[in-house]
Structure 1
Amino acid sequence: MTLAVLEPEGLYPDTRLEQEVMGPSVRILRGNARASLAELPDALCEQADGLMTLRMAVPGDQLARFPRLKVVVRMGVGYDRVDRAACAARGITVCNVPDYGTQEVAEFALLLAMALRRGLLLYHDTQRADPPAPWGVMPSPLVRRLEAQTFGILGLGRIGTAAALRARAMGFRVAFFDPHLPNGADRAIGVHRARTLEELLAQSDVLSIHTPLTRATRGLIGERELRLLPRGAVVVNTARGPILDLDALERALRDGHLAGAGLDVVPEEPPREPLPALLRAYRAREPWLAGRLVVTPHIAFHTPEAWEDIRRKSAETMRDVLVEGKRTNVIPPEAE
């Protein structure tokens, strides 16, 4: 069997780890696509029984170039970049890696929330202004005691649960909404369950998004939903960009309904011209956004330890499914 590993931005020094996991019976080819699968040479595509990809999308119109392809492993939690319907039509199994980077993404969500809520970004931005702000306290709706706030979690999966535990440890009251969890899921970690999304939003001084991107969640948090948050709330998104309407977020920040936002993900990555109004204002350092918005380039998952995890766990998933015929981390084609 032959496994094709796409090189994500040159982060693979070699494939020794993957070869160790897969064993000598599997040959590993390295691809070097930067923009799309169309860049891969035909010779590689024609040999691949398995394909592992981190950032590269797997669209249906490219599958014909992979006549032997049996398994695609998306090296991460989200699987929206893989055309699962087209894969299913070809009998190709699609898997993800749901158990890497959990601590890192949860910690980063808390980091964004706390950096906003304790004024770290506010004072950082205003003290490097020209001229700098006066030396001392700046009254702002951003800054509040953590124990006086509710940390609302949209999606209580692995990362959402890890974020909930960390938010509780920092003193927040924690609530969540997740219609897919059975009754009692809240009891194990001592958080409050909202019966509806609207109920969660109404009480969330911080809204942290941790749901996967599906047909049901695309555009889930728009103008109406943001306006249901308490005035002065903060929104954090470390999940997927298209879940949150950036234009609605810009309006809610500009008119003061929201105090701040932290985004590790945006709808189009990397952002391209013409930029959404919010990102344009952010890059221009418009004064009204000082200390209220932070944007990072989809790196919440990253530590050297997490990178090793994702490589090893992806290879283990591929070995289980491609070589041993198991159903490890298989995503059914009918999943949302």
Structure 2
Amino acid sequence: MKIGIIDSLHNSYVDQPDIEQRVLGGDASVTLYRVRSTDELPPDALECDGLISWHLVPLQAGFLGELKACRGIVRAAVGFDNIDLVAARQAGIAVANVPDYGTEEVADHALSLALSLLRRLPRGHAVVSSGSWDWREVGALPRLNQLHVGLIGCGRIGMAVALRFKAFGCRVSFYDPHQSSGVEKSLGVNRCETLAQLLECADLVSIHAPLDDRTRHLIGKEQLAALQGKYLVNTARGPIIDGAALRDAVADRLLAGLGLDVYEDERQAIPAEFLNRDDVLLSPHVAFYSDAALPELRAKAAQVLREILSQGQHRNVVN
């Protein structure tokens, strides 16, 4: 079997394909391709029996149609928005994801961003760094057990986040039109029937939805206006928030605090409006990561691909 790993030259995830080679076994030849786009791939990449895809390189219809032998593509992540699922299906290629890695890390990171904003840790650091120990300079701080947290999306990660906030005594609500009835009872949280209802009732909103045509720019100018004086955290996908509307909201100090691990276009420079602000916390798409999570993700992606190629199916197939 010829296996290709398609990673990016920019912010790459794989230095060498040692983990994948070990999982796929001696009958597989694994090649790492680090490119800016599929146009830069050598001709031999089109002969791969299977591919492992990382998120910064889109796999679009034109490329998928040129693959000569490919039977499976595994997106090394929960989300798979960089792959044209319809074109892959038409080409007879199964596409799968890895939905069960890094749940703890993303949930912990969302909570970390939220707590840092709520307790105004960047502002506290700046106060002490300036030579002052006057706690009054930090500003107003909400009490956590009086906070109403709203979650957009209540899948594996959203549930983990809900449980973490509940441990702090927070009231938790979620909006997720795709989640079955009764989840709210199992978790002991409240379900909102509309996004508008969630934005109205929550003091802090954390995003945990996948990116698709329905969620792209789900949070725009109108939704940001509903969050005036509130907190917003996104550890899901950048384009769920309209980038231009978010820049305007930050410039106008509309939000009480903003925590971002993902951005609308992570290949571009971060907007100047987000920089040097103690009400904005930024991290470099690291929520998924820990010393344990990345090797786990790579191994699971290779394992899923091996089963697709050997058995013709896998429960993680999304197309």
Whether the TM-score (by the shorter chain) exceeds 0.5 is yes
Match of 1:242 among 225, 239, 242: 239
Q: Identify the range of structure 1 (251-260 vs 304-313) with the bigger mean alpha-carbon deviation.
A: 251-260
Q: 1:17 to 1:250 in 2, by over 3 A?
A: closer
Q: Distance in 2 between matches of 1:157 and 1:151?
A: 16
Output the amino acid matched with 2:5: V
Show CA shifts across 1:214-263 (max 9, x none): 1000010111112223x421000001111112332333344443111000
Q: Which residue of 1 aligns with 2:310?
A: 323
CA contact (8 A) 1:116 1:122 kept: no
Output the amino acid matched with 2:183: A
Q: Does 1:213 align with 2:200?
A: no
CA contact (8 A) 1:4 1:30 kept: yes
Q: Which residue of 1 aligns with 2:26?
A: 24
Q: Distance in 1 between matches of 2:154 and 2:201?
A: 17
For structure 1, list consecutive stretches of 5 or more residues without a partner in the other structure. none
CA contact (8 A) 1:31 1:44 kept: no
Q: 1:125 to 1:58 in 2, by over 3 A?
A: farther
Matched position secondary structure for 1:80? coil
Following superposition, the deviation at residue 88 of structure 1 comes to: 1.7
Show CA shifts across 1:47-85 (max 9, x none): x01000123221222224421111111100111100112
Matched position secondary structure for 2:159? helix
CA contact (8 A) 2:250 2:273 kept: no
Q: Which residue of 2 aligns with 1:304?
A: 291
Output the amino acid matched with 2:247: E
Output the amino acid matched with 1:299: V
Q: Distance in 2 between matches of 1:264 and 1:153?
A: 16
Across the two proteins, how many residue pairs are aligned to each other? 316
Q: Which residue of 1 aligns with 2:274?
A: 282
Show CA shifts across 1:83-127 (max 9, x none): 112212211111111111111011000000000001102222344
Residue pairs, 1:47-126, within 5 angstroms: 48-55=48-55, 56-126=57-127
For structure 2, list consecutive stretches of 5 or more residues without a partner in the other structure. none
- Percent of paired sites with the same residue: 37
Q: Distance in 2 between matches of 1:197 and 1:259?
A: 19
Matched position secondary structure for 1:82? coil
Q: Which residue of 1 aligns with 2:137?
A: 138
Q: Which residue of 2 aligns with 1:291?
A: 278
> TM-score scaled to structure 2, two decimals?
0.92
Q: Which residue of 1 aligns with 2:38?
A: 37
Residue pairs, 1:167-316, within 5 angstroms: 167-229=165-227, 231-272=228-269, 279-283=271-275, 285=276, 290-316=277-303
Matched position secondary structure for 1:153? strand
CA contact (8 A) 1:117 1:144 kept: yes
RMSD of aligned Cα (Å): 2.0
> TM-score scaled to structure 1, two decimals?
0.88
Output the amino acid matched with 1:104: E
Output the amino acid matched with 2:158: G
